[in-house]
Structure 1
């Protein structure tokens, strides 16, 4: 179960208006009387609030007995406003482009207007959740005390964009896609999409060592169908494409007033930032985070070791999950003094 907040006449950066925009979210725990224990945990590509639950629970760093954890669902994921659930004129392939900042602005309304929260103890997220985490720290530097992006970056790199273009082309070239006005889901395109994704989600070493056997798959083909195809086969094709657009356009330096200056954007972050790239992530590699953190006043990088690639951040490997949980525990225990922004 989840909740929905409606945002009347919500104007996107593209100029299109969703009336209303619908933001789906779920909360865990209780907000304390001082409203100081709030943690924001946005979702990743093709995930929803349940995808984040592996990091939430009694005895974990994100313990709902201590923290009030808010998990907003990404626009386009089928629960928040998406091509699959929005009426005309913004239905299906006519759904407008939505940016990471559009997501953050909707979430800011939820946090401030609905819950009355003025400061966030922590914002964290994986992959597209990390893109949102960075944008939160840039857009609301006086509100975010700590930020923990994992398996992500402050902007989508050109190499990452090439991957996204391959996914888009693979899906839309299915004749059943019919320009986004399909009568039934283009399942052939979605299955092909999943197989392209499979080559990027895990590292070469993961496949060389047949680590997929740890997930219960007896062969590579069984893994491709049982893990990757099953992960996407129930998704709406237009929803997937909408999220890809959001992902590809992500860049904190294009925040209004920053004029495309990435160093200035990162220097404006006042939060304590602990970035956790995965050692063998193919599209958010550690080098991206190492370059970024040099410009963040209170920035630190800890590389998650191992061969699980981008899916290091998915919670399937207990060793990686323990590393991430320990990092969250560490940053939440650290004192906070918001850094002065660099100019």
Structure 2
């Protein structure tokens, strides 16, 4: 595939953990032109197992995310295989066979991601104000982080199907898919010499039970995705995860599990204070049937946010209600909400 993104060289980055991410690289794509006032900026971070190509589905002339009007930056999450990730970085203790030791990839938090994205927009583009940060799932988590860490710079946020802090139940769900992957004998504690195929397939198959709602399956909506049977859908989930490096999946999963806008020196674990500090106008939009980012968690968050509104998507697509272009009705609602926020 042709390279359709830029890379910002960050040098050696000291992470929250105290570890160093050596020769760090932030992959990103831009759409549109930065205006003279540098006030037409939208940041649209990527989600779990997503890249800028996934987000590009919602970007286009005449749409809410219109590159003829806005300068849209899509930064790729560390661990997604384009930005620095286990699969593309040679760790300091490279194996004698010169196989990258992805198991030694340092733990990267969402805070670390946002600090590096901040460097990109300020050092590369000289941007001081951000009109909107939006995202789905882990992208939503990053939108929350942007608003809490830079409350004087972010004007609006639209986190959908995500949270400001990963819940205990969400972490447990992720432990389940992680266990399915790492049970593969080929896994070898992350120092595999060939992909742990059985583990990757199991990861995808288990995940499919969480991505959609019970009603999605009961009403056979998988047929709208082109699958005649549930088994065909599960096979697609297997194949989709075979395209991912196992250590990349687990690096992003660790980041997700430890998501918390208050886990930093600014808020020192005071989650309510972090939420109260968000000045951005916000529409927070969970899916009514999301099995791991439920609306109840967002309701607690919005109650502390001074300029936030909770709107629940009445969708039976579960977490995937927010997936870029996954179904027409939910996508239409998401785009209308973006347009409303930017109006």
Task: State the TM-score, normalized to the length of structure 2.
Answer: 0.95
Q: Is it true that 1:16 corresponds to 2:19 in the alignment?
A: yes
Q: Is it true that 1:206 corresponds to 2:226 in the alignment?
A: no
- How far 1:239 sits from its partner (Å)? 0.2
1:337 aligns with none
- Equivalent residue for 1:286, pick from 295, 299, 304: 295
1:330 aligns with 340
Cα deviation 1:21-77 (Å, max 9, x = unaligned): 100000000000110001000000011001101211011100000000000000000
Question: Any conservation in 2 of the 1:283–1:310 contact (CA below 8 Å)?
Answer: yes
2:266 aligns with 257
For 1:49 and 1:326, locate their aligned partners in 2 and report how far apart those are by CA, in whole Å.
21
Question: Any conservation in 2 of the 1:205–1:307 contact (CA below 8 Å)?
Answer: yes
Cα deviation 1:252-289 (Å, max 9, x = unaligned): 12121322111111000011011110110000011111
Unaligned ranges ≥5, structure 1: 334-343
Q: Is it true that 1:38 corresponds to 2:41 in the alignment?
A: yes
2:189 aligns with 179
Question: Any conservation in 2 of the 1:84–1:236 contact (CA below 8 Å)?
Answer: yes
Question: Any conservation in 2 of the 1:139–1:255 contact (CA below 8 Å)?
Answer: no
Unaligned ranges ≥5, structure 2: 94-100
SS at match of 1:23: strand
Q: 1:42-57 maps to which residues of 2 (within 5 A)?
A: 42-57=45-60
For 1:224 and 1:177, locate their aligned partners in 2 and report how far apart those are by CA, in whole Å.
22
For 1:112 and 1:51, locate their aligned partners in 2 and report how far apart those are by CA, in whole Å.
25
* RMSD over equivalenced CA pairs, Å: 0.8
Q: 1:37-116 maps to which residues of 2 (within 5 A)?
A: 37-89=40-92, 91-116=101-126
For 2:22 and 2:189, locate their aligned partners in 1 and report how far apart those are by CA, in whole Å.
25
For 1:34 and 1:258, locate their aligned partners in 2 and report how far apart those are by CA, in whole Å.
32
Q: Is it true that 1:151 corresponds to 2:154 in the alignment?
A: no
253-262 vs 216-225, which deviates more? 253-262
- How far 1:220 sits from its partner (Å)? 0.6
- How far 1:16 sits from its partner (Å)? 1.3
- How far 1:88 sits from its partner (Å)? 2.1
SS at match of 1:6: strand
Q: How many residues align?
A: 332
For 1:259 and 1:181, locate their aligned partners in 2 and report how far apart those are by CA, in whole Å.
35
For 2:65 and 2:258, locate their aligned partners in 1 and report how far apart those are by CA, in whole Å.
30
Question: Any conservation in 2 of the 1:61–1:328 contact (CA below 8 Å)?
Answer: yes
For 1:19 and 1:262, locate their aligned partners in 2 and report how far apart those are by CA, in whole Å.
31
2:317 aligns with 308
Question: Any conservation in 2 of the 1:44–1:74 contact (CA below 8 Å)?
Answer: yes
2:6 aligns with 3
Q: Is it true that 1:274 corresponds to 2:283 in the alignment?
A: yes
- How far 1:305 sits from its partner (Å)? 1.1
SS at match of 1:125: strand
251-260 vs 156-165, which deviates more? 251-260
Task: State the TM-score, normalized to the length of structure 1.
Answer: 0.95
Structure 1 runs, 4 residues or longer, greater than 3 Å off: none
